[in-house]
């Protein structure tokens, strides 16, 4: 019997909860029949849906939870009220206990990060975790982090993000030494905040076998795919992400308006329908749904709260790929190599280090 990939799902998370989670799991199962789901949610809600989707029912273990975390719950409140009993906490705890290889939730981002940090803890030598997003580019895809977990990162944290993002790019894209750039207001070394300049200098000076530092990149490089990994702190990263999402919707609205403006434009749309369908698919945010929490002792995937079943299935696809390609193992290897290199450069600092 083939080995299954156990994935825990917070079935109550998101704007639409189980009404999206269970159909999304069905779509993901068609693509990955070797998944076994561990579902956490309210039995009264989940039960009827599992009868409607027998494929998911047969490929799942279900656990009843009488608490779900609302989308507007403060992280501190979620930790106090939702620990031990909520579908969100228990899906994360399944990763800690080794019952699941990865957890997926479309729930409250702040609460999910707080619970993930509290339950899984950060990896050795990682001070703060990051949220990494898959960014569609003209060349394919890039990894962008942090997009909202750490506001105002210092130089060392930016270097940590570079290592985390590099490991994710290796796992996702199969690139042995992914190129990494620091997001800045210019490519010149004298520009930008001191922490960004310091991180750039240290990345240039530190030999890293797991990535190739490409220097500073600017905002327009995000769409160009200039590098495999773009590193920034969470404030700028989140604004960039939301701006890109809004721009995609704006362009889509402009195109629909233009195509319906006159009779001739409608005729033109019919001739160009294939091209517009391809453009729509390229710009579909559901295809790249899912933020990866990096730097924890376990993998957690955050799905967009307002996504549909297809988008949620994409988040499960991402979770599956991260497990299959041993993301956590790659991160651990890269961190060990980086810190060994730092120790070798600095030399022993005390008799205990000798």
pLDDT per position as a tens digit, 56-92:
999 999 999 988 999 888 988 888 877 788 999 999 9
Q: Tell me what pLDDT residue 265 has.
A: 73
Percent of the chain having pLDDT more than 90?
60
Q: How many domains does the chain have?
A: 1
CA 158 to chain centre: 17
203 assigned to some structural domain: no
pLDDT per position as a tens digit, 232-265:
999 999 898 888 878 777 877 777 787 777 877 7
70 assigned to some structural domain: yes
9 assigned to some structural domain: yes
pLDDT per position as a tens digit, 201-237:
999 988 888 899 999 999 999 989 999 999 999 999 9
167 assigned to some structural domain: no
pLDDT per position as a tens digit, 139-151:
888 999 999 888 8
Q: Tell me what pLDDT residue 11 has.
A: 95
Q: CATH number, domain at 78?
A: 3.40.50.10950
290 assigned to some structural domain: no
Instruction: Give the alpha-carbon dihedral of 147, 153, 159, 164, to 10 degrees.
Output: -30
Confidence of residue 282 (pLDDT cuts 50, 70, 90): low
Please give the structure tokens belonging to residue 156.
Answer: 């060392």
What is the pTM (predicted TM-score) of this model? 0.87
Provide the domain limits for residue 331.
Answer: 1-126+295-354
Q: DSSP string spanning 190-207? A: T-S-HHHHHHHHHHHHS-
């Amino acid at each position: 019997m083939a080995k299954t990939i156990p994935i825990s799902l917070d079935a109550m998370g998101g704007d639409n909860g189980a009404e999206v989670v269970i159909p999304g799991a069905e779509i993901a199962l068609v693509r990955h029949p070797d998944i076994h789901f561990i579902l956490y949610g309210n039995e009264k809600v989940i039960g009827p849906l599992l009868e409607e989707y027998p494929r998911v029912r047969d490929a799942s273990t279900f656990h009843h939870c009488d608490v779900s975390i609302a989308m507007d719950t403060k992280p501190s409140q979620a930790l106090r009220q939702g620990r031990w009993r909520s579908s969100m906490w228990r899906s994360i705890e399944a990763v800690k206990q080794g019952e699941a290889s990865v957890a997926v939730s479309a729930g409250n981002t702040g609460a999910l990060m707080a619970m993930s940090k509290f339950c899984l803890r950060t990896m050795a030598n990682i001070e703060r975790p990051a949220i990494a997003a898959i960014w569609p580019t003209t060349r394919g895809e890039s990894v962008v982090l942090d997009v909202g977990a750490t506001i105002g990162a210092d130089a060392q944290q930016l270097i940590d993000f570079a290592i985390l993002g590099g490991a994710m790019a290796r796992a996702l894209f199969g690139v042995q030494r992914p190129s990494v750039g620091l997001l800045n207001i210019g490519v010149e070394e004298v520009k930008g905040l001191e922490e960004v300049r310091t991180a750039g200098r240290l990345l240039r000076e530190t030999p890293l076998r797991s990535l190739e530092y490409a220097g500073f990149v600017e905002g327009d490089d995000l769409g160009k795919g200039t590098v495999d990994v773009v590193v920034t702190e969470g404030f700028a990263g989140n604004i960039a992400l939301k701006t890109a999402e809004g721009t995609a919707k704006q362009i889509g609205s402009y195109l629909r308006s233009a195509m319906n403006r006159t009779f001739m434009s409608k005729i033109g749309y019919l001739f160009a329908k294939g091209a517009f369908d391809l453009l729509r698919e390229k710009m579909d945010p559901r295809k790249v749904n899912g933020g990866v929490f990096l730097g924890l002792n376990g993998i957690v995937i955050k799905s967009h709260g307002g996504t549909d079943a297809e988008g949620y299935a994409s988040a499960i696809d991402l979770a599956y790929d991260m497990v299959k390609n041993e993301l956590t193992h790659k991160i651990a290897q890269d961190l060990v190599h980086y810190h060994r290199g730092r120790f070798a450069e600095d030399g022993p600092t005390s008799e205990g280090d000798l």
